[in-house]
């Protein structure tokens, strides 16, 4: 290792240990941040627990902006009205200036437009991918208060089309959730299927809480497609797939990352999912991503295989870093504006853990900037608060899921360019 690199590493470690030693003497105060996440569903609880993991690590480093952090968590039930009510309570009653969430674009959007933007609260989502947010930002309607650590639906859509092309499917039917996210996915995937020469025989919306989905599935089956694309969540996904199979539908399925769920696998039955392939954004093949996996396994005793876990960790850690950079009593707009100081490509690299946060505190206090190296890599936001990401194709296994194919960020960008 070159001498200069050794020196910088030792300096950073010294900064980290110095700040850690002062953690016990942190200010006797608490700052609340809000979190609106779907804790009532099995795949949502780990997302919330991972955000809390990041908060715990920050508190071990002395907290953010001079205070310990309390994450006040509310369940959205993946329901827009419930999510909006929860967000309003956190903003109006708890006084939070930073809100983590939500998971579904259909929940995040009304929270953004009716709660966080009007109240001047920064909203950081781990798991909302609709391109509608990009359009809203381009129109100036997010006021710079919106960030997300999950890549847009464009990535998953493109990779889904690649799966269909690689498998040689010529016809595909689409079942999608009738909300902002599902509508966005259905629109994008239809265009991407067309770009790779795959015909969409039917595109059918699925609404929540119906007694059954026989009419919708019958409609999707009418064109006798070779495969089925599913942009659904586990509850309605399970019901729709059971109807699909009972009516003789093919087991050739392409799944959005929302179905990367033990609940969905177990309720449908692994024996019926042997030909199913899912898509998801992925952590890069990097040291920081490996470090997160090791830390997660130590904390929770399992691999971070569920949807959105790495993204949830980075969302929480970045929000807290921005709070640190903005200083005590900062407004939501101040915190959002400080995001550039903690994701600076020319800043000093800091790791995503307690010692990394401690080092960042010292660097920021000295007027410097940092480059956060997190569970999803070196996070860089564009002008709309969006990120890009590598991708993965996965399949279900006895223990959860397994990787079938990894696509680097360059691979993803090149394939998406080819579609255009």
Residue 17 lies in a domain: yes
pLDDT grade, residue 404 (50/70/90)? very high
Residue 119 sits in a domain whose CATH number is 3.40.50.2300
pTM listed for this prediction: 0.77
Residue 298 lies in a domain: no
As given in the structure block, the two tokens for residue 61 are 């480093």
Residue 162 lies in a domain: yes
Residue 397 forms beta bridges with which residues?
A: 400
Looking at the structure, tell me whether residues 36 and 117 fall in a common domain: yes
Looking at the structure, tell me whether residues 397 and 357 fall in a common domain: no
Looking at the structure, tell me whether residues 276 and 342 fall in a common domain: no
Looking at the structure, tell me whether residues 19 and 65 fall in a common domain: yes
Looking at the structure, tell me whether residues 263 and 401 fall in a common domain: yes
Higher per-residue confidence, 7 vs 77: 77
Looking at the structure, tell me whether residues 202 and 335 fall in a common domain: no
349/29 Cα distance (integer angstroms): 29
Number of domains in the chain: 2
**What is the average pLDDT value for the chain, to the nearest integer?**
92
Residue 129 domain boundaries: 3-150+308-378
pLDDT tens-digit series, residues 117-137: 999 999 999 999 899 999 999
pLDDT tens-digit series, residues 96-115: 999 999 998 999 999 999 99
Looking at the structure, tell me whether residues 363 and 402 fall in a common domain: no
Looking at the structure, tell me whether residues 165 and 115 fall in a common domain: no
Which range among 171-175, 254-258, 305-309 shows the weakest confidence by mean pLDDT? Answer: 305-309
Looking at the structure, tell me whether residues 347 and 403 fall in a common domain: no
CA dist list (Å): 302 to 172, 231, 292, 299, 400: 35, 27, 12, 8, 11
Cis ω before 102 (30° cut-off from 0) = yes
Closest CA to 178 of 238, 278, 105, 264: 105
Looking at the structure, tell me whether residues 11 and 87 fall in a common domain: yes
Looking at the structure, tell me whether residues 215 and 113 fall in a common domain: no
Phi, psi values for residue 375, rounded to 5°: -65, -25
Residue 287 lies in a domain: no
Mean pLDDT for the stretch of residues 197-221: 95
Compute the half-sphere exposure of residue 368: CA atoms within 13 Å on the CB side of its CA: 16
262/268 Cα distance (integer angstroms): 10
pLDDT tens-digit series, residues 359-392: 999 999 999 999 999 999 889 899 999 998 899 9
Residue 371 forms beta bridges with which residues?
A: 343, 349
N residues, the chain: 420
Residue 300 lies in a domain: no
From edge to edge, which strands make up the β-sheet containing 199-206?
199-206, 171-177, 227-231, 253-255, 276-281, 391-397, 400-407
């Amino acid at each position: 290792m070159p001498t200069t690199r050794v020196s910088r590493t030792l300096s950073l470690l010294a900064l980290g240990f110095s700040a850690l030693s002062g953690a016990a003497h942190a200010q006797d105060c608490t700052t609340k941040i809000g979190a609106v996440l779907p804790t009532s569903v099995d795949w949502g609880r780990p997302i919330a627990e991972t955000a809390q993991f990041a908060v715990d690590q920050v508190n071990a480093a002395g907290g953010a902006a001079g205070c310990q952090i309390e994450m006040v968590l509310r369940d959205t039930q993946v329901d827009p009205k419930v999510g909006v009510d929860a967000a309003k309570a956190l903003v109006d009653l708890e006084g939070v200036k930073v809100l983590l969430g939500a998971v579904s674009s259909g929940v995040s959007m009304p929270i953004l437009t009716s709660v966080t933007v009007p109240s001047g609260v920064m909203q950081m989502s781990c798991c909302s991918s609709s391109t509608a947010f990009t359009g809203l930002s381009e129109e100036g309607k997010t006021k710079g208060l919106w960030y997300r650590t999950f890549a847009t639906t464009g990535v998953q859509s493109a990779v889904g089309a690649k799966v269909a092309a690689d498998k040689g499917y010529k016809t595909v039917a689409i079942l999608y959730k009738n909300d902002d996210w599902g509508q966005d996915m259905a629109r994008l995937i239809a265009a991407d299927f067309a770009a790779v020469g795959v015909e969409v025989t039917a595109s059918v919306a699925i609404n929540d809480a119906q007694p059954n989905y026989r009419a919708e599935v019958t409609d999707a089956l009418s064109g006798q497609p070779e495969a089925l694309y599913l942009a659904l969540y586990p509850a309605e996904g399970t019901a729709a797939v059971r109807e699909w199979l009972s009516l003789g539908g093919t087991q050739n399925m392409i799944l959005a990352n929302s179905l990367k769920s033990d609940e969905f696998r177990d309720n449908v039955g692994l024996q019926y999912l042997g030909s199913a392939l899912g898509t998801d954004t992925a952590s890069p093949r990097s040291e920081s991503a490996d470090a997160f996996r090791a830390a997660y396994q130590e904390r929770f005793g399992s691999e971070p295989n569920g949807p959105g876990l790495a993204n949830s960790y980075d969302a929480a850690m970045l929000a807290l870093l921005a709070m640190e950079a903005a200083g005590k009593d900062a407004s939501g707009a101040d915190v959002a504006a400080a995001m550039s100081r903690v994701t600076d490509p020319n800043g000093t690299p800091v790791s995503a853990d307690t010692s990394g946060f401690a080092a960042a505190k010292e660097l920021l206090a000295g007027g410097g900037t940092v480059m956060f190296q997190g569970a999803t890599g070196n996070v860089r936001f564009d002008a709309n608060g969006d990120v890009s990401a590598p991708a993965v194709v996965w399949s279900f296994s006895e223990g959860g899921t397994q990787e079938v194919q990894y696509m680097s960020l360059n691979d993803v960008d090149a394939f998406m360019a080819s579609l255009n």
